[in-house]
Structure 1
Amino acid sequence: MDFLHPVFEDQLELQPDAKGNVVIGDTIFSPVAILRADPSAYEDEFSKWMSDRWIPEQNELLEEILSIHANRKRFVDLCATLKNGHLIPLVGSGMSIPTGLPTWLGFLRMVRQHSSMPEIELEDLLLHCAYEEAAERLAAAMPGRLFDERIEHDLRIDDTNAICGAVVFLPELFDKLVLTTNLDDLLERMYELRNRRFSHILAGKSISEYRKVKANSERVLLKFHGDCRSRDGRVLGKTEYEQAYCNGSPIKEELTTVYRNHSILCLGCSLEPDRTVELLAEVAKIDPGMPKHYAFLQHPNNADMLRQREHFLTDRDVFPIWYRDYHDESIKALFVGMMQHLGRL
């Protein structure tokens, strides 16, 4: 459980009692610095913190979440699918936020500042959920090389120490196939940091190679919309989306195969009507035997919105597990429950 050491140390530094520091001469030593000097004492205190404080807090929040709507039995089904090895994560931009990376809308707003596109024009497109058109117009409103640089610089992880949040649990839960629509390099940097480097990272059109490598049971990352460090195979604008999701395209073929053969857990995904969600609807219509998919999503504000949202999702064979507030903390608690179900915590 070394990946939780940063959380433990953050809690030590947040202790309200300033007397926890030790002063020798003119030098102040924090509790973290003192414990690091004695690895045995560090692990003892870490174990006590885990068992006496952190795990009970996670279980309390987990119980609150499971008491919502139809969550409890859906979570039981989800954990059973995980234990059978049939659950695959689909990671969206919401999982990158605690590390300091922007949401997709935030990214588009950041890029606009380098373009000649008026702010009101972009906001109108975003208001109408025209994200593909917004990206395409942004690309046309600035030099191509500048657009490429902004994508790489705004979505690249330079300091792996900054990686934090619920996303750090993924290597403990999913050790084979991972899917993402993100262009950032958070997942590959994190898995490498945890000595679980992906054997294959397939982005954009190269996803067609997955059929060749999947039989080897190796660790694979599929980046359906490309990578921030390469223009090749990147899917941002409307034209690129139409090419990527047309009949016979590698992305559509492989994503359809994954939908039909695995249960997907959508994490940090808005699951609004977009290409990946509509492909789910398409597959659900032609394949009544498609496995159930799941999503961790924020609970809508009222009963009507809840009913409409649940109908929209379950019609696409996606069964939501709702949380009310604290996106990242709630997902952490759900991950803790999943790890406990596997006997790993």
Structure 2
Amino acid sequence: MSFEKIMAFNAPYNQINFDSLIEKIKSNAIVPYIGAGISMLFKDVYPSWSGFLNTTFNKFVDISEKNKFNGMSYEDKADFLYKEIGKLSFSNQLKTTFSKNHLHKEKCQFIDKPAYLLPAIFEEGLIITTNYDKVIEKVYGLYNLMLPVAHPGHFEALNGALRNNELLLYKIHGDINETIESIILTKKQYELAYNNPKLTESLKQIYTSKSMLFLGCSLQKDRPIELLCEVSKSGMSNYAIIPCKNEEKKDRRLQLEGDYYTQSIIYPEGNHECVKIILEQIVKIIKSEDKKGKKELMEFSCDEFNNKKVEETYLGYINKWCDFLDINNWHAWTSWMLAIGQPHISVEMLTNLEELREWLFSRVWPNKFGELQNSFENFKLVASESTKACTHKEPRVE
């Protein structure tokens, strides 16, 4: 299907909304909001959330529960499975399904996917996703672009992305590499997360300061979209590239404009290759009209400034880690934790370990030096177990 035919499918609104979107992108006023549709890259790799829940049910649960399960919301389905098959089994199924190991493919296997075009359009600024997987990080890595990742609560990183147009991926529902407890899955976890001002205030700040571009999203009323409805008001303008049946496109367009202040570019139901065609046209326009004389994206992303910035970030983390641990006296204070008999630790160092663990969790990682980052992740786990051991065994605290 050609770009012209897509525009004609919902004329004149598609072209009008497309032109408006282009102007917003050129003025750095757009935040892409990435849903599961963008992660569905290859056959049998990264299903929709609905597909994951149904596959998990079919694998683990008796068929007699199927009618009951089908009538549930997504949150209730996750809740049901979490309780029915057990926390560890559900966690293993989730991590196996959305593992980054599925992305160990050659670059040529990504270039015909819509996700591959994201770095060409959004070289700077904030990106939001509800996805747990590593697809976005993968495609930015294919361009050798440093893509820091943050979670709700990283206000400094979020403010930098909004205020200074710094590149940042904001994963609002967690990351597949984190613990199952930190990923928002079940109804209870959603309730806790969306009653936490760290998340809701972050989203409100984003919604009211930028325009969203919804990609790979169904735009049904889930929690983030309900929050968007709450803060939406006259003067706001969001965008969506979505599928729709021909006979329903008028009602869908009016519903999006009325509920979400969202201007839609609608393509025929089932023709998901249209997303790539639309994104390609965006790239063609913004690159051809770029008058700043930038190098090609691949060259520009590898400049010495980016490398220096990465190194400075990691060096700062290492220095802070050393300060927390009083590294010059490492052997002196750790020896008492490993001594024969009752282990003990000073109140100061126990406090430092707990604060360090929380500090490490809240860092925004540039994802450049894998072994170094894995070392920090391993230390975070060891520190967690060590503090638990000390507190559970009631050590002598000095």
- Equivalent of 1:105, from 40, 50, 54? 50
Normalising by structure 2, we get a TM-score of 0.64
Name the CA shift for 1:186/1:122 in 2 (closer, same or farther; >3 Å): farther
- Equivalent of 1:90, from 33, 47, 58? 33
Deviation string, structure 1 residues 29-56 (Cα, Å, up to 9, x no partner): xxxxxxxxxxxxxxxxxxxxxxxxxxxx
The correspondence of residues 154-165 of structure 1 with structure 2, limited to 5 A, is 154-158=97-101, 159-161=104-106, 163=110, 165=113
Equivalent position amino acid for 1:67 in 2: A
Name the CA shift for 1:192/1:120 in 2 (closer, same or farther; >3 Å): farther
Equivalent in the alignment of 1:13: none
| 1:336 correspondence with 2:284 | no
| 1:294 correspondence with 2:242 | no
Equivalent in the alignment of 1:65: 6
Contact 2:34 2:130 in 1 (8 A): yes
Equivalent in the alignment of 2:123: 175
Contact 1:114 1:142 in 2 (8 A): no
| 1:135 correspondence with 2:78 | yes
SS of the counterpart of 2:185?
Answer: coil
Deviation string, structure 1 residues 192-228 (Cα, Å, up to 9, x no partner): 2220121x2113x444453454355432101111112
Contact 1:207 1:224 in 2 (8 A): no
Equivalent in the alignment of 2:262: 318
1:124 Cα deviation from its structure 2 partner:
4.4
Q: What 5-or-longer segments of structure 2 have no aligned partner? A: 290-398
The correspondence of residues 1-345 of structure 1 with structure 2, limited to 5 A, is 61-69=2-10, 70-99=13-42, 100-115=45-60, 117-119=61-63, 121=65, 124-127=68-71, 130-158=73-101, 159-161=104-106, 163=110, 165-176=113-124, 177-198=126-147, 200-203=148-151, 205-211=152-158, 213-214=160-161, 215=163, 217-230=165-178, 231-246=180-195, 248-284=196-232, 287-290=233-236, 292-302=237-247, 305-315=248-258, 316-325=260-269, 327-344=271-288
1:300 Cα deviation from its structure 2 partner:
2.3
Deviation string, structure 1 residues 68-95 (Cα, Å, up to 9, x no partner): 2211111110111111111111111111
Name the CA shift for 1:298/1:211 in 2 (closer, same or farther; >3 Å): closer
Contact 2:36 2:131 in 1 (8 A): yes
Structure 1 window deviating more from structure 2 (220-229 vs 142-151): it is: 142-151
SS of the counterpart of 2:201?
Answer: helix
1:310 Cα deviation from its structure 2 partner:
2.1
1:171 Cα deviation from its structure 2 partner:
0.6
Contact 1:310 1:320 in 2 (8 A): yes
Distance 1:265 1:91 in 2: 8
SS of the counterpart of 1:343?
Answer: helix
Distance 2:154 2:62 in 1: 36
Name the CA shift for 1:276/1:153 in 2 (closer, same or farther; >3 Å): same
Equivalent position amino acid for 2:245 in 1: P
Distance 2:138 2:254 in 1: 37
Distance 2:17 2:159 in 1: 34
Distance 1:123 1:160 in 2: 38
Q: Percent identity?
A: 27
Distance 1:167 1:73 in 2: 24
SS of the counterpart of 2:272?
Answer: helix
Distance 1:126 1:269 in 2: 21
Q: What 5-or-longer segments of structure 1 have no aligned partner? A: 1-59
1:172 Cα deviation from its structure 2 partner:
0.3
Normalising by structure 1, we get a TM-score of 0.74
SS of the counterpart of 1:228?
Answer: coil
Distance 1:63 1:140 in 2: 49
Distance 1:218 1:145 in 2: 37
Distance 1:167 1:75 in 2: 19
SS of the counterpart of 2:170?
Answer: strand
Q: How many residues align?
A: 276
Equivalent in the alignment of 2:351: none
1:148 Cα deviation from its structure 2 partner:
1.3
